[in-house]
Chains A and B, each alone.
Chain A
Amino acid sequence: MSTSTPALGADRRVSHGLARALRSPSLRLIGRRLAAAIPVLWGVTLLTFLVLNIMPGSAAQQLLGADATPEQVRQLEAELNLDQPAWVRYWEWLQGVVTGDLGNSIASGQPVTTIIGQRLPVSVELVLCAIIVSLAFTVPLALMAARRPNGIVDRLSMVLSMTGLSIANYVFALVLVVVFAVIFPVLPAIGFVPLSDGLLGNLRSLILPAIAIGFPLFCFYTRFLRGDLVEQMRGEDYVVTAKAKGVGPWRVLIRHAFRNSLFGLLTIVGLNLGTLIGATVIIEQIFALPGIGQELLQAINNRDAVVVQAIVLLLAVVVVVANLITDLLYAVLDPRIRYGQRSA
């Protein structure tokens, strides 16, 4: 409606665009969510610190072994600054964290950032593989199950899911090892081959752990996606429209129902990332993968408070950020949110 010159209009559009970006709901959402995450993360560190202090035994005792005299232990504690009151140590650690210094491991003296840098890639790869494994099986199975509710595929997938949801992942991991490494020795039972030593070996060392973590998730996602698809196929008017066009049932299911179910699935995957990371701690231990989870368990055994604190904080940050990304992805994928509500 405005009759400004094109150049001026363009100029105005740029500044207008910037102003709008700053006021944009998604940026404000990010800001709000990050602000809300700060007390959460702080709470996590405080809780971890308290739990570590309640735990019997000290790092010095662990380092020196059972034969050490109380004298020696006290001396080492003084060297390691462990004789200070708990709140002082916490305060010093927190100051370090805020300035980006995670400190040095009590046990090895290495900087915590170096340790994390070595361990994190393994865990990230494991988590990604687990997500890929779970979704790669979830999507086709849920589609087939939803194509004929109460049909043979649906019933079988139901049995499978219930089995997977009721079995603990470490038990399932051991079953996998027995079957695929002992009875049929096709995959390594333990150990990790880094990506730099070849993709095939790397993947072979990750298949079993990824399945052990991914299977329960796959079961959960399949139940969810199948239910959501069936609901869409039964209840949504646009499904009727698609059928009324003469579109075939598979196409209706995939192009119409699945497309809309994707948002829900995405949310569930994002929200479950915490569970998934939790699972890596135990699974890395079982399969002797040198990841963050294994390091965390070791650090707990060593009463290496600095490392434990750093890793727990890192995992908390990952979960918070993952949830935020889920919300943002939702906004990117859903055109109703992407363009904002507008009715002409």
Chain B
Amino acid sequence: MSTYGAPHSAAASVSGDGSRPSPSTTMPLLEVRDLWVRFRQGDRQVWAVNGLSYELFGGQTLAIIGESGSGKTVSSRALMGLLPETATVTGSARFDGEELLGLSDQEMRQHRGADLAMVFQDPTRSLNPTMRVGNQITEAIRTHLPLDRRAARERAIELLRLVRLPSPRQRFFEYPHQLSGGMRQRVMIAIALAADPKLLIADEATSSLDVTTQAQIMELLLDLQGQLGMALIMISHDLGLAASFADEVIVMYAGRAVERASTHQLFAHVRMPYTEALLEAIPRIERPSHSPLPVTPGRPPDLTTLPVGCPFEPRCSRARDTCRETSPPFEEQEPGHWWACWYPCDDGGSG
């Protein structure tokens, strides 16, 4: 860690013993309140995120789980200011006490990559194929830190070492296509860590990798999180991944949170039928072989119209008339356990 010296290096020296700041006393690092995102699509509106709220404390890992189109990626890109111009974002997102939504692009750029960083799903497409990986890292470093070329290069090599890329000094000069998928994702992580972010958003960061690499990258992310004291938001469709790595889980459906609890509590008592359906859909070794995988019937909802009732109602086995008529509120119904359901599962002790 000697040359890992840079203005923000205080964070880097936090030893990773996994001690978390206690949520009750400190201010949350990130506080999202009533976040709405809608897209213009011709003359229609797509309601991508509908009133999402959560908070995240420094050093914590939050998993946001949902299927494609549930709003998990859109909501996190909204925080980074990375949505296309067709998006309208309302609500509030306070990061370290400062409101992020409504910042000009220029103001947002000060935070992007410096305070909040993001690792994307497909490292092959996310790296510029015509630039040496080293230069892609130093670009991120020099955007935020006042380092000269040489110092930036040393720091980049240090970062490559930190993400455990073998022979970093040599890899610095290689192009993305010369690296494997897992190595590329390590480079992406190095880019994200360039300016010691306080929050790292991993958007399906392991989904495009094979299972072995997936576990390695996930472990790397958690190690780094402990080592550097960052908060981590894991966006995934994989509830199993959340179960193994996250402190807290938010399950999203149709652009809203439908269940939220600490990982332990959630898997001990699943309340929302959708979460249960997701859990059921995870292949298990205990099941008799050749038994069909339980699949949630129906399709994800059409987001061009907001439903009156519960958005999961058409696919829900527990749905009754109430569900069709009124949307259930998302409330803390048990201490530390939020859900939005009129007829929750009594004891979903499936985990």
Residues of A within 8 A of B (CB): 234, 236-238, 240-249, 255-256, 259-260, 334-336, 339, 341-344
Interchain CB contact under 8 A, A246 and B126: no
B266 interface hit (Cβ, 8 Å): no
Distance between B214 CB and nearest chain A CB, rounded to angstroms: 17
Interchain CB contact under 8 A, B125 and A237: yes
Interchain CB contact under 8 A, A245 and B139: yes
B15 interface hit (Cβ, 8 Å): no
B125 nearest in chain A by CB position: A237
B257 interface hit (Cβ, 8 Å): no
B269 interface hit (Cβ, 8 Å): no
- Chain A residues closer than 8 Å to B136, beta-carbon distance: 241
The B161-209 residues at the A interface (CB cut-off 8 A) are 175, 177-181, 183, 188, 191-192, 194-195
Distance between B140 CB and nearest chain A CB, rounded to angstroms: 4
Interchain CB contact under 8 A, B122 and A237: yes
Distance between B6 CB and nearest chain A CB, rounded to angstroms: 15
Residue among A234, A339, A342 making CB contact with B84, cutoff 8 Å: A234
**A241 and B175 in contact (CB under 8 A), knowing A246-B110, A259-B131, A344-B183?**
no
Distance between A13 CB and nearest chain B CB, rounded to angstroms: 18
**With A and B bound together, what is the CA distance between A234 and B86 in angstroms?**
12
Interchain CB contact under 8 A, A245 and B143: yes
Interchain CB contact under 8 A, B139 and A260: no
Q: List 26 A-B contacts (CB under 8 A).
A: A237-B126, A238-B128, A238-B129, A240-B120, A240-B126, A241-B126, A241-B188, A244-B112, A244-B120, A245-B112, A246-B143, A246-B144, A246-B195, A248-B106, A255-B131, A255-B139, A259-B130, A335-B129, A335-B175, A342-B178, A343-B177, A343-B180, A343-B181, A344-B178, A344-B179, A344-B183
What count of chain B residues pass the 8 Å CB interface test? Answer: 39
**With A and B bound together, what is the CA distance between A244 and B140 in angstroms?**
9
- Chain B residues closer than 8 Å to A260, beta-carbon distance: 128-130
Q: Which of B111, B139, B188 has the most CB of A within 10 A?
A: B139
Distance between B239 CB and nearest chain A CB, rounded to angstroms: 25
A342 nearest in chain B by CB position: B178
**With A and B bound together, what is the CA distance between A46 and B186 in angstroms?**
60
- Chain B residues closer than 8 Å to A334, beta-carbon distance: 130
- Chain B residues closer than 8 Å to A342, beta-carbon distance: 177-178
B127 interface hit (Cβ, 8 Å): yes
**With A and B bound together, what is the CA distance between A341 and B179 in angstroms?**
10
Q: Which of B84, B140, B179 has the most CB of A within 10 A?
A: B140
Residues of B within 8 A of A (CB): 80, 82, 84, 105-106, 109-114, 117-118, 120, 122, 125-131, 136, 139-140, 143-144, 175, 177-181, 183, 188, 191-192, 194-195
- Chain A residues closer than 8 Å to B178, beta-carbon distance: 339, 342, 344
Interchain CB contact under 8 A, B177 and A339: yes
Distance between B126 CB and nearest chain A CB, rounded to angstroms: 4
Distance between B348 CB and nearest chain A CB, rounded to angstroms: 37
- Chain A residues closer than 8 Å to B80, beta-carbon distance: 244
Interchain CB contact under 8 A, B191 and A241: yes
Residue among A259, A341, A344 making CB contact with B180, cutoff 8 Å: A344
**A238 and B105 in contact (CB under 8 A), knowing A244-B82, A342-B178, A343-B180?**
no
**With A and B bound together, what is the CA distance between A271 and B3 in angstroms?**
50
Closest 8 interchain pairs by CB?
A: A246-B113, A237-B125, A246-B112, A245-B140, A245-B113, A238-B128, A335-B175, A237-B126
- Chain A residues closer than 8 Å to B113, beta-carbon distance: 244-247
**With A and B bound together, what is the CA distance between A108 and B139 in angstroms?**
64
Interchain CB contact under 8 A, B128 and A244: no
Q: A238-B128, A335-B129, A343-B181 are in contact. List 9 more A-B contacts (CB 8 A).
A: A237-B122, A238-B129, A241-B126, A241-B128, A245-B117, A246-B110, A247-B109, A259-B130, A343-B177
- Chain B residues closer than 8 Å to A343, beta-carbon distance: 177, 179-181
Interchain CB contact under 8 A, A243 and B144: no
B128 nearest in chain A by CB position: A238
**With A and B bound together, what is the CA distance between A259 and B129 in angstroms?**
10
Interchain CB contact under 8 A, A336 and B177: yes
